[in-house]
Homo-oligomer: A and B are copies of this chain.
Amino acid sequence: MSINKTNLYFDATASHPIPSDIWQTYCANLQKYYANPAAVYESGILAQKLITESLRDIASTFNVAPGQLLITSGATESINTVFYNFAKRRRKQQDILLIAQGEHAATVAAAKRLADDLQLELIYVPLTSSYLLDTDCLENLLQQYGERILALSNVSLSNETGTINDLMLISRLLKKYAPKALWHVDNVQGWGKIAWDFVQTAVDYVSMGGHKIGAPKGCGLMYIKEPKYFKPFIVGGGQQNNMRSGTENPPLVRAMADAALKNGNISRLNAKREYIQKLRDLLLQNISTLSYSIQGAAALRQYPGIVAISFPNIRGEVLLHSLEREGISVSTASSCHNLAAGKVAAQKAACFTEAVAQGHLRITINEEHQVDDILILAKAINKCVSFLAEINRK
């Protein structure tokens, strides 16, 4: 096996390639800023300064204070840290934990552990048939349990279907029925795709991961509404205002800031989305002779860059490997689900038939893609699907 240089990669949802300018700066910084940023000599101080400036840059893209941001080793650590804080901030009467159906395995695992440890009841908020958090169901649950609810956790944007939850509405419901409940939004896929104002929604914790927007792997981010109540999940030398210990990583934090400025910058998101919408439309036009179904929501609540598509009687994994032979990488579901117990979390949650769930292909279109890439993809899909359908008919 060798890496095919003509490979077309449509799986940035799983991991985003590092843009060459970010890569170059990161590699140069690895040599320049090797000192421990806790050191008191010049190179240590410069390394610390690089972190401070990078955090300021990231904070500026979210309109929050740098002190409300925490660097972690990745989104999974961020999510674990959130649930650790749920435990530490629990009030006596709170014995219910809400998470949406179809959440990422990190949220499910952290929620289950928390529920076990604190003897909480874990309730899954259903999704609609459009894979969106069912806000009617949520309202009922909030009305019913109110003060008993410790926390709610849900994604901003589904990694499996690209559907976008109505965070403003969820926020209003929480404020109305369960104002003391804590709220975590898993923004791992939302970062760099949709703009939403943390402060306006009054979310308590937001989790993000650097490698989903083009930073090298190994860095994650958390937004924390009220740092004064924050409890460190990883303790030690007291780095990051004692909120997350461990030697800080100046080159990597800078790379995450560069990725935030490049791919996460709110002011550029609309133009990016329009461009990607055109590529999505082009793809669907060019496979329009095939019979397929798209899993997702209506335009406003659907991010165009994630195309969850299935073809009748063709298993997603078979099609994936057919496309691979054409030099094209796509995914069947979220990568993590290849490892974790479940298959396609959001789909199962929304109770689609197993036949459709098995056929679900996830194609990620991002800003780096060109019209030609999409035409090659469409051609390959036409070829592979026709071939597999032909086999089925025999």
Binding site for B on A (CB under 8 A): 1, 3-4, 7, 9, 11, 14-18, 23, 26-27, 30-32, 34-36, 38-46, 73-77, 79-80, 104-107, 109-110, 113, 209, 211, 216-219, 233-239, 245-249, 251-252, 317, 320-321, 324, 329-332, 335-341
Question: Are A216 and B76 in contact, CB atoms less than 8 angstroms apart?
Answer: no
Q: What residue of chain B has the Cβ atom nearest to residue A325's Cβ?
A: B42
Question: Are A39 and B18 in contact, CB atoms less than 8 angstroms apart?
Answer: no
In angstroms, Cα B73 to Cα A249, docked, is 11
Question: Are B35 and A11 in contact, CB atoms less than 8 angstroms apart?
Answer: yes
Question: Are A38 and B336 in contact, CB atoms less than 8 angstroms apart?
Answer: yes
Question: Are A335 and B38 in contact, CB atoms less than 8 angstroms apart?
Answer: yes
CB distance from A30 to the nearest CB of B (A): 6
- Copies of this protein in the assembly total 2
Q: List 9 A-B contacts (CB under 8 A).
A: A7-B43, A23-B27, A73-B246, A74-B246, A77-B77, A106-B236, A218-B219, A236-B340, A247-B336
Residues of B within 8 A of A217 (CB): 247-249, 251-252
A331 and B3 in contact, given A236-B79, A236-B105, A237-B339 (Cβ under 8 angstroms): no
Residues of B within 8 A of A237 (CB): 76, 104-106, 109, 335-337, 339-340
Q: What residue of chain B has the Cβ atom nearest to residue A237's Cβ?
A: B336
CB distance from A298 to the nearest CB of B (A): 29
Residues of B within 8 A of A4 (CB): 42
A331 and B39 in contact, given A234-B77, A237-B336, A246-B76 (Cβ under 8 angstroms): yes
CB distance from A343 to the nearest CB of B (A): 13
Question: Are A238 and B27 in contact, CB atoms less than 8 angstroms apart?
Answer: no
A32 and B14 in contact, given A73-B246, A246-B74 (Cβ under 8 angstroms): no
Question: Are B18 and A34 in contact, CB atoms less than 8 angstroms apart?
Answer: yes
Q: What residue of chain B has the Cβ atom nearest to residue A252's Cβ?
A: B218
Question: Are A39 and B338 in contact, CB atoms less than 8 angstroms apart?
Answer: yes
**Pick from B80, B211, B324, B341: contact of A247, CB under 8 Å:** B211
Q: What residue of chain B has the Cβ atom nearest to residue A14's Cβ?
A: B36
Residues of B within 8 A of A74 (CB): 73, 246-247
Question: Are A336 and B236 in contact, CB atoms less than 8 angstroms apart?
Answer: yes
Question: Are A77 and B246 in contact, CB atoms less than 8 angstroms apart?
Answer: yes
**Pick from B3, B73, B76, B234: contact of A218, CB under 8 Å:** B73
Residues of B within 8 A of A216 (CB): 30, 251-252
Residues of B within 8 A of A317 (CB): 40
Residues of B within 8 A of A18 (CB): 30-31, 34
A39 and B335 in contact, given A27-B27, A74-B247, A218-B219 (Cβ under 8 angstroms): yes
CB distance from A340 to the nearest CB of B (A): 5
Q: What residue of chain B has the Cβ atom nearest to residue A11's Cβ?
A: B39
**Pick from B17, B26, B335: contact of A34, CB under 8 Å:** B17
Residues of B within 8 A of A336 (CB): 38, 236-239, 247
Residues of B within 8 A of A235 (CB): 80, 106, 109-110, 113
A11 and B36 in contact, given A234-B80, A237-B76 (Cβ under 8 angstroms): yes
CB distance from A79 to the nearest CB of B (A): 7
